[in-house]
Amino acid sequence: MNSIYQIIIILFFLTSSNCSNGQSKQECLDMLNDNLLLLDNFLHADKYEPSDLRDLRANFSDLQDQMQNDSKIDESYLFPKGYPPITKYVYPNTLIEVRFDRFNISNILGDGYNFTLDFVDNIPDAIFKVKKIYFLDGTIEGGEDISVDKIISPQFGHQTLVLKGTKPIKSFDYSMETNLSKEIIYEITAAGQTIQTPAGQIEIVHYGNGYVRVKVPESMRHVIKIVAENAQGHKLSKVMSGNGAAYKSEYLKPYVAGIKNAITQLENDEITCAEAYNKFSYERIIADLQRKENSLFLTEYFVSDFKKASIVFWDKTQVDRKRYLRNSADQSDGVPETFYEKCACAVAQDKKNELFGIIGLDGNWIIAPSFLKLNANWGNKNIFRGQPSDEEKSYEYRYDKEKKSLTKM
C-alpha cells in the first residue's frame, strides 16, 4: 500500500511541476503554436494582402472618380451655417463664444485616414480677434483689433472672448487665424524607395496592384497619409487601411527557432510548462520586440490600380498660417438678432448673484436680475420664458417695450 501512495505522490509531483503556472501541457503547447503563428505573420507582414479585397473594391466601385480637393481647409467646416458665434451678457461683461471645430478640421486634413485618429491633438487652437462691433443702438466700435479682458479655451479649440461692457450687439466682424503644420507632398516612384523627412525615414515596401505599403517609425504614424490618383488625375477612394508592427527578421527568427525547440522539449517532458511560459509567453515576446524596434507597416488599399501615389507629410517644424475674416451674422439664421432688435433688449446674467434679467440698448438693467432661468422665445414677438427665483416652475412673460416691463401670461 505504501508503494501505491509513493507512485501517486510522484505522479502528482510531476504533473504539478510540469503545469506549475496553472496550465495543462496541451494548453502550453497551444500557446507556443499560437505564438509561432504570430511570429510567422510578423515575418511576412510586408507581403500581406486581404483575401476579400476584390469584393471590397466591387462595393466601392461607384466612388472611384472622386474629384481631388485642392483646398487644404474647407471653410464651410470652419464657419458652418447655423453654427454662429454666441454672444452672452454676464454683467458687467460680454462673452463672445467663437468656435474652431478641431475635430472636423482633423477629418478634413486626415481625409478619414484611420492612422490619424488622434490627429486632433496635433492641431493648435486658432487665434480669434474681434475687429468691429455693430451694436443694437446703431453705434459702431472698432476698426482695429478690439482688446479683450481674457480668453477662455474650452475643448476642441472653442474659445470665449471676454469683453468689458454689456451693450447688446447686433453683429461683429472677427478674424480667425490658423497655424497648422506645413503640408509636404512626396511622390512615390517604386517599391524600395526611401523618403527622408524632417521627422524620419519612410520606406516604400509595396507600390502597385491598387495598394501602397510603407514602413515608418511609430512616431510618424499620425503625421502622414497615403493618397493616389487614377490616369485622369482623380483622387481614388480607399477601401481598406491596415497597420501592423514591422519587426526585423533578425529579431524574429531566433524566437521562431526557440519556440520550435521548446515545443519538442515540452512534448518529451524535457521542460516544464512554467519554463516554456517564462521564455515564450506572448507578453514576454512582444515586450522584447518592442524594446528592439518601434516601426510600423502602414497600408492603404484603393478602389482600383492607380497612376500616381504620394505621401502627404505634416511638418511640425514649419507653419502654414491662414487668416479668415467673417461677420457673426453670416453664420446665423438671423432669428435671435431679429428678436432682440425688435424688443431693443437682451437677456443678461448678473455675475454676482447668477440671476437673469433684461438689459436695454445702453447695457443697463431694464428688468432687474431676479430669474433663475430666462430665455427669449424665438419667433414669438416679445415673449420670454422664465423661472422666478422664488418659484419652482417657469412661466411665459410678455415684454412691453414702451413700459419696459414683464407681464406674466
For the chain (length 409 residues), average pLDDT per consecutive 10? 41 39 82 93 86 78 47 68 82 89 69 52 82 93 81 80 92 88 92 95 94 92 88 88 87 93 93 91 90 88 92 88 88 75 91 94 94 83 88 91 90
CB 25 within 8 A of CB 264: no
pLDDT at position 379 is 63
DSSP string computed for 361-376: TTSSEEEEEEEEEEEE
pLDDT at position 86 is 84
Amino acid, single-letter form, for residue 292: K
Q: What angle do CA 344, 366, 164 make, to 5 degrees?
A: 80
CB 164 within 8 A of CB 92: yes
| Helix or strand holding residue 231 (H, E) | none
User: What is the biggest distance separating any 2 CA atoms in the chain, rounded to whole angstroms?
Assistant: 112
| Pairwise CA distance, residues 309 & 189, whole Å | 8
pLDDT at position 8 is 36
Instruction: Look at residues 263, 57, 84 and name the one whose alpha carbon lies nearest to residue 172.
Output: 84
Amino acid, single-letter form, for residue 162: V
| Helix or strand holding residue 150 (H, E) | strand 150-152
pLDDT at position 223 is 83
Mean pLDDT of the chain: 83
Residues near 104 by Cβ (< 8 Å), separated by ≥ 6? 77
Torsion on CA atoms 128, 130, 136, 139, rounded to nearest 10: -170
Instruction: Look at residues 241, 222, 243, 198 and name the one whose alpha carbon lies nearest to residue 121.
Output: 222
Owner of C-alpha cell 468691429: 132
